[in-house]
Structure 1
Amino acid sequence: MCGIIGYVGESPAQPRLVDGLQKLEYRGYDSAGIALADEALSVFKQAGLVGDIDLPAGATQTRGIGHTRWSTHGKPTDANAHPHTDCTGTVAVVHNGIVGNYDDLRRDLPGHEFTSETDTEVVAHLIEAELERTPDLREAVTAVVERIDGSYALGVVAAGYDAIVAARRSSPLVVGYGDDGNFIASDVTPLLSHTRSVSYLEDGDVARIAHGGVEIWNDGQTVDRPIHTIEWDATAAEKGGYDHYMLKEIYEQPQALRQAIAGRIDPVEKRADLNLSLPETFLNRIDEIQLVACGTSYHACLYGKQLIETLSDVRATVEFASEYTVGSGRNPERTLVVGVSQSGETADTLRALRTARRTGIRTIGVTNTVGSTVARECDEALYIQAGPEIGVAATKTFGSQVVTLGTLALTIADTRNELNPTVGRELCENLQDLPGAVQQVLDHDSTVEEVAREYADGTAFFFIGRRLASPVALEGALKLKEISYDHAEGFPAGELKHGPLALVTDDTPVIAILTDGARPDETKNNVKEVQSRGAPVIAVTSGGREGDHDIGFEVPDLGLLEPLVANVYLQLFAYHVAHSKGRSIDRPRNLAKSVTVE
């Protein structure tokens, strides 16, 4: 949700903090600020973007913390911007998460003056009170977090204290080990230009990050957290000449898909093997696979469900992670839960996975982030290997999630001896051909841009498709509404005449997916229904299929994956509609990349 950065070392902190915050703005951009500490504390913050902060020139402090905010408690104002300070102006705190009992904690602080509407400010005042008992900032923070109900990733500095203190519960926080100092951050993106060596703090950890080293405590005992080497290229987190991260990441899909299948498809045998650590005896006895996720990941699960049920004799269900419960009568020994989260930190998905594990159900986490909470807490972690995704509207990770779920479906079906050899071989071949097929779509970007500009003034947009195209229709509508702010709906094409048709006019473009694997002949009837009401139809087809649509785009023949290729057209369409309207594509209003609070 919010973005945190901290640095302590031998170089000036301010430029490192500002650069880090700019790379974290996809996590929140309502307001931003930094605190610089030496023998005194200096705080600079305001509503708006990182670049809007009025900063001093030539600041020499070598210790500080920074924050870019996605608002939860309190409007995006200067007063509500982080860092927050105590009454004495000697303690500064940045926070990602929610302090659920902040009202009660404030009542325990009579005489303290609060200047914001946020839940975070109470943490600074609690630390102030604890420092009257102990001069050690780490001990003070430890005492405070024991009183907090809710989630937090905290970075704390104090005047005269030569380190940053960090703490984590249910919100991500990374420690970076650099040559000229050490860091904390919400994720690895702002660290890549300084270090590749990181540790991931775990729930209950309190860390002291100093220039000379890092110490971590949990439940009063010192602990070691393994140091990981980040393989991402630092340039992968930059725009690379594109106008927006979103467009760059749409164009990165061929490479992301190659990475998603790398080492997982035998090019000779045409077999998938994820080398799962789950026992074959367990995979052979499961009778249900539950997929849980939110947003774009939920749509990927809808696609994955159909692949699982097509390839193997296992029932698959998809649930919104925020609504997940373990129903009565379910046998944990015969159930597998798969949680899908790009960041690996999605609060609702984590809650669902923990609910499943408490009942004894085995879990698989599908994520893009090595060392994330999902990866650590599940019985098995499958990485989609898409590389960093900065754009708030997910693009390349959707395809990589579907591909990873597809290889999971192939692996499970093969293990259970339920895989039709012809179907399995064809899907493996199509997976290998998928990056090239996506590139063919990208080669028609200029045509998509022309169409998007022609229809950008529509009053609403409907996306329709059947079977495997149904989740793609949902995802296409989500992309358009996220970044253009236009009303858009996606649904199975057959549902059109059960209510939504009442909204169709000649100002309502309908985007129809008519590829193989999407029951296109039946969807054509729905196309005629909207055309008879005057609606223009933009169709994505395959196999040279003719039709009465107004505009047509073609995808290569790719069997079960054709709707996934069609999705790239929908991403480009959404991007160009939003761009033509001058929208803030990488920073859509009210949204943030990682939803780490429930």
Structure 2
Amino acid sequence: MCGIIGHAGRADRTLDVLLAGLEGLEYRGYDSAGVALANGDLDVCKREGEIEMLQRAVDPGLGGPVGIGHTRWSTHGPPSDANAHPHTDCSGDVAVVHNGIIENYDELKAKLREAGHEFDSDTDTEVVPHLIEDALAGGASPEEAFRSAVARLEGSYALAAVFAGSEALLATRSGSPLVLGVGDDAAYLASDVPAFLEYTDRVVYLEDGEFARLESGTWSVTDASGARLDKSVSRVEWDAEETAKSGYDHYMLKEIHEQPRALRKCLRGRVDELTGTVNVEALEGLEADAVQFVACGTSYHAALYGAQTLRAAGVRAQAFLASEYATSPPPISDGTLVVGITQSGETADTLAALRRAKGRGVETLALTNVVGSTAARECDRTLFIRAGPEIGVAATKTFSSQVVAANLLSASLAERGDAREVVEALRDLPGQVQEILDSSRAEEVADRFVDSDGYFFIGRGYHHPVALEGALKMKEITYRHAEGFPAGELKHGPLALVTDRTPVFAVVTGDGEEATKTVGNVKEVEARDAPVVAVTDGASEVERYADEVLSIPETHPRVAPVLANVQLQLVAYYVAAELGRSIDKPRNLAKSVTVE
């Protein structure tokens, strides 16, 4: 859940690269930051708070041919200067940064203390430089000492280390991502590509158990035994401009407005409008008697939607929270496909669930945004959503693209359904999203209800996941209480919370049975003096009972949720903006959750 950046190259550039890389990783969530540069001696500076605090504290004259930086999201010990990374050994000759959790750190720490080592932090990470120090004292080289320390660790980790008197940066991973950047005269290391994308678009993805060595623009990768590996160099399709704000006040607003383009990219070359068919190379020959989706957070809401589309087409399908699936998996049979939905492809709970499924002998599919991610590499198949980089912690364009990709999966697996009508609706979707972005009244609605005590979101059928997602967005970036419910469940308890200070956002499209019943639920809310905001295509009479209306174009029932969700994203954004929240970096949250 934290960020790592490393550089090996010109000594006068290292500090600038590290600080810029840390800024490029801010979206992952953090509460402290630090750097370590090796140039004969080892210079370490770290501070609690935002990167600006580190920039003020660090000596701008620091240099060195290698260096590492880190943004920390607290797991062991509260945010503080002492708990910030990098962590060092007793002598100050080894500095280490770490993402993940070392599960046996208590045992290791006790043994190290018995041997005379002193600790300055509450973190699990601090045992690593002391383990390295022990091995160095026994005559090991830096690389031998690093490998020796790693061999004693249990848990998940991405680790990088630099040493006084050495121009090498050493790194390894197990269950937490690391990627190398290959420049013309420098080599880079990071937990995610945006950290070094302004310097190079050539990357090498590390696998679990592999070790990297970076020195003055050169790099090598070896396995656990030390044997050199022939790793391929890939090119990242993103460019640095895609990870900039481009004139928007926040990344989240930029990414909401990028949805038409993201959806076009998701669909390009995958649907045939003339025949009404879907042709996705990654899904060719795919068959499944049943589908189990595993996901977390926003991706779980996309999974709920995906399971519903498959059930409607006659395929047995269920959605599970990945954290529950990993520890208490449901019964599984031959012919089951397990689909992991994860924006980053690095979500620890989702990876654990996919590995659990793979261990049970069934086929796995990653539905993800990131080429080269762990999920993409480990699953049998991968369906990329092609949304481009998403920097804001609160997912927006990736949710819309996940929903569209779920439709592609459904059409590929299902033997019956209304594929032609869905394909036609998907063709029109990007333009309809743009229409909403150009005309939405979300800012006015947000202004009216910004001081509410809480917010409720209701919907039926395909709109139930949208109600959950609308509530999650409101919670994530406004810090206000919000809940989403199936519309019919409101009267089974939650209605007790409804007052004239709790607006209810009702998603109602079409004029069928679901719409009619949801209108009935809206009447129940209205009778209790709660303000109603209808998100609707105007096909029902819900406007008659609404205090505010957020309109969406008419479309196929399976596509309407994407349009409704855009309106709810905008409402959450404008409420948060008026409250002055940290929209792109909500408190306590991270973009990529790499701990279980």
Normalized against structure 1, the TM-score is what?
Answer: 0.96
User: Counterpart amino acid of 2:554?
Assistant: D
Deviation string, structure 1 residues 304-349 (Cα, Å, up to 9, x no partner)? 11111223x2100000000115757532x31000000000000000
- Tell me the equivalent position of 1:191: 196
Query: Aligned in 2, Cα 1:212/1:568: closer, same or farther, shift over 3 Å?
Result: closer
One of 121, 125, 131 as aligned partner of 1:116 = 121
Structure 1 residue 263: Cα displacement? 1.1
Structure 1 residue 189: Cα displacement? 0.7
User: Counterpart amino acid of 1:111?
Assistant: G
One of 287, 290, 302 as aligned partner of 2:289 = 287
Structure 1 residue 133: Cα displacement? 2.4
- The 5 Å alignment of 1:438-587 reads 438-445=433-440, 447-516=441-510, 519-546=514-541, 547=543, 548-559=545-556, 560-587=558-585
Distance 2:540 2:416 in 1: 30
Deviation string, structure 1 residues 383-403 (Cα, Å, up to 9, x no partner)? 110000010000000000111
Distance 2:257 2:104 in 1: 45
Distance 1:277 1:499 in 2: 43
Q: Check if 1:596 corresponds to 2:560.
A: no
- Tell me the equivalent position of 2:9: 9
Normalized against structure 2, the TM-score is what?
Answer: 0.96
1:79 aligned counterpart, secondary structure? coil
User: Counterpart amino acid of 2:592?
Assistant: S
- The 5 Å alignment of 1:212-291 reads 212-220=217-225, 221-276=227-282, 279=285, 283=287, 286-291=288-293
2:228 aligned counterpart, secondary structure? strand
Structure 1 residue 378: Cα displacement? 0.3
1:36 aligned counterpart, secondary structure? strand
Distance 1:466 1:579 in 2: 29
Deviation string, structure 1 residues 341-379 (Cα, Å, up to 9, x no partner)? 000000000000000111101000011111111000000
Deviation string, structure 1 residues 131-164 (Cα, Å, up to 9, x no partner)? 1124422211111111111000011000111110
Q: Check if 1:321 corresponds to 2:319.
A: no
Maintained 8 Å contact 1:468/1:518: no
Q: Check if 1:73 corresponds to 2:83.
A: no
Maintained 8 Å contact 2:273/2:420: no
Distance 1:562 1:98 in 2: 41
2:158 aligned counterpart, secondary structure? strand
- Tell me the equivalent position of 1:309: 311
Maintained 8 Å contact 1:540/1:566: yes
- Tell me the equivalent position of 1:154: 159
- Tell me the equivalent position of 2:182: 177
Maintained 8 Å contact 1:90/1:158: yes
Query: Aligned in 2, Cα 1:248/1:518: closer, same or farther, shift over 3 Å?
Result: farther
Distance 1:235 1:329 in 2: 46
Structure 1 residue 278: Cα displacement? 6.1
Distance 2:331 2:508 in 1: 40
Structure 1 residue 268: Cα displacement? 2.7
User: Counterpart amino acid of 1:126?
Assistant: L
User: Counterpart amino acid of 1:580?
Assistant: E
Distance 2:213 2:219 in 1: 6
Structure 1 residue 514: Cα displacement? 0.7
- Tell me the equivalent position of 2:131: 126
User: Counterpart amino acid of 1:377?
Assistant: E
Maintained 8 Å contact 1:370/1:383: yes
Q: Check if 1:419 corresponds to 2:416.
A: yes
- Tell me the equivalent position of 1:21: 22
Distance 1:451 1:4 in 2: 40
Q: Which moved more, 1:469-478 or 1:141-150?
A: 141-150
Q: Which moved more, 1:511-520 or 1:73-82?
A: 511-520
5+ residue gaps, structure 2: none
Q: Which moved more, 1:546-555 or 1:485-494?
A: 546-555
Q: Which moved more, 1:511-520 or 1:102-111?
A: 511-520
Maintained 8 Å contact 1:544/1:554: no
Maintained 8 Å contact 2:283/2:383: no
User: Counterpart amino acid of 2:106?
Assistant: D
Deviation string, structure 1 residues 454-489 (Cα, Å, up to 9, x no partner)? 101110100000000000000000000000000000
Distance 1:18 1:383 in 2: 31
1:183 aligned counterpart, secondary structure? strand
- The 5 Å alignment of 1:341-380 reads 341-380=342-381
Distance 1:463 1:267 in 2: 34
- Tell me the equivalent position of 1:405: 406
Distance 2:63 2:155 in 1: 36
Maintained 8 Å contact 1:469/1:518: no
Distance 2:52 2:23 in 1: 8
Maintained 8 Å contact 1:12/1:63: no
Query: Aligned in 2, Cα 1:504/1:372: closer, same or farther, shift over 3 Å?
Result: same
Structure 1 residue 287: Cα displacement? 2.0
2:145 aligned counterpart, secondary structure? helix
Structure 1 residue 196: Cα displacement? 0.7
Aligned residues: percent identity? 55
Maintained 8 Å contact 1:265/1:273: yes
User: Counterpart amino acid of 2:484?
Assistant: G
Report how many aligned residue pairs link the two structures: 585
Maintained 8 Å contact 1:466/1:518: no
Distance 2:141 2:8 in 1: 17
5+ residue gaps, structure 1: none
Q: Which moved more, 1:158-167 or 1:217-226?
A: 217-226
- Tell me the equivalent position of 2:66: 63
Query: Aligned in 2, Cα 1:310/1:388: closer, same or farther, shift over 3 Å?
Result: same
Structure 1 residue 180: Cα displacement? 2.3
Q: Check if 1:89 corresponds to 2:92.
A: yes
Distance 1:349 1:58 in 2: 43
Structure 1 residue 277: Cα displacement? 5.6
Structure 1 residue 28: Cα displacement? 2.4
Structure 1 residue 179: Cα displacement? 1.5
Distance 2:423 2:283 in 1: 22
